[in-house]
Structures are given as C-alpha cells and as structure tokens.
Amino acid sequence: MRDDLPKEGYVVTFQGDEGFNGKFYRLLTTEDFEYVTGQTSGTPEFSTVTTNNNTGFKDIDVLEPSHVPLRCAYVEMGFKDGLNYAFKLKSGVIRYGPDHDLNAAVLNNLKSPFFSPVLSFWLVWDWFPSVQATNTTPFTVTPKVYFRGKKYDIEEVPLQERQRAIQSGKYTLITLGGIKPS
C-alpha cells in the first residue's frame, strides 16, 4: 500500500461530490482492511462465467464507509484472472472511460495484479463500487477481485480551524471517484 496516504490527525477536504464543497475533515483513527470477492464474509460471490459472457454488475457494498460514525476509505483493487472488468462508482456512473462505452477502458490483472494492486480510489458514505467481469478466455472462470486499503473515522472541523488550514495550505485534497494509479 502507498506510503504517502494521509495519516491520523491530517485535515482533508474532498472534491468530486457537491455535498462536500467547502467542508474540511480531520482524519481520526484508521483501520486496514482486505476483502476478496466470494471469500471474505459479506462480499458478493461472482457467478461462474463462460467464454464471451459477463457477470452483470455486482455491488461491492461491504466497502461503503459508514455514515455513523463518519468514515471515508482509500481502496486499492487487483484482479486474479485473465477476465476484463468494467467498474462503476456512485449512482452507476462509469468513472473509468466514457459512460456510454463499457469497452473504452478495460481493467484486468495485467493492469492491476491480484495481490499487488496498482489501481485505487477513494470512497465516502453512500459510495461503493460495482464491478462486472467479462470472460474473454476460452475457459469457464469464477471472477475474483481483491480489495485492500484503509478506512478512516473522520470529523468535520470547525470554521476557524478550516480557515487556518486554507491560509497555511496544511490540508490534503482528496478526489472522490475515478480510478487512479496508486
């Protein structure tokens, strides 16, 4: 996992969702996590998928940070097999490639290996990813997606502290949605 992630005590602000505009939060405690679809309790199991078929989108809502207490999460994901994956975040909007063409960008184990993920994204409450696997191999396969990351408890900071953070430049800007190299 990245070494440059914000640490406990950091002040952060989020962009990418109008509900967070102008708000600043302090990162409190952190919790590491690891999930494998179909192997970790609470994660969906993908159906076995035959050649040239797909699984349909599966919500990975176990990754959704809670609203009480307030939480956000940094997530890295990797893929185990030779399948191609489409990815949606928040309201079914595809954030990796144009929203009208699922094949514009393909996620797979060559771009982000299973136990060495290189693709990441941030989540807040009411946000969780949906993933669809398409089998282009000549074999019948059960897709597996690996997620790891950090969940942060957060609290909104008072106006005076927010103004100090802005004036001093001592805050971290976190972009919600979108997959980025980690």
Closest Cα to residue 152, out of 169, 167, 119, 174? 174
Q: For residue 140, what pLDDT is reported?
A: 95
pLDDT tens, 55-108?
Answer: 998 888 888 888 878 899 999 999 988 899 988 876 445 555 444 344 445 788
- The dihedral sign for the CA sequence 124, 33, 153, 3: negative
How many Å is the maximal CA-CA distance in the chain? 61
Of 58 and 177, the one with more pLDDT: 58
The angle subtended at Cα 28 by Cα 166 and Cα 36, nearest 5°, is 115
| Residues pairing with 77 in the sheet | 119, 147
pLDDT tens, 106-124?
Answer: 788 888 888 888 888 898 8
Mean pLDDT, to the nearest integer, of 138-147?
Answer: 93
Q: Cα-flanking dihedrals φ and ψ of residue 161, to 5°? A: -70, -35
Q: Spell out the residues 6+ positions from residue 101 whose beta carbon is closer than 8 angstroms to its own.
A: none
Q: For residue 181, what pLDDT is reported?
A: 76
**Cα separation, 181 vs 152, whole angstroms:** 20
Query: Does the pLDDT value for residue 180 go beyond 90?
Result: no
Q: What is this structure's pTM? A: 0.85
Percentage of residues of the chain with pLDDT beyond 70: 88
Q: For residue 96, what pLDDT is reported?
A: 52
Banded model confidence at residue 42, pLDDT cuts 50, 70, 90? low
Q: Is 122 exposed, middle or buried (0-12, 13-18, 19+ CB in 10 A)?
A: buried
**Cα separation, 6 vs 174, whole angstroms:** 9
**Cα separation, 103 vs 106, whole angstroms:** 6
Q: For residue 81, what pLDDT is reported?
A: 87
Closest Cα to residue 95, out of 119, 115, 67, 66? 119
Report the chain's mean pLDDT, rounded to a whole number: 84
Of 45 and 143, the one with more pLDDT: 143
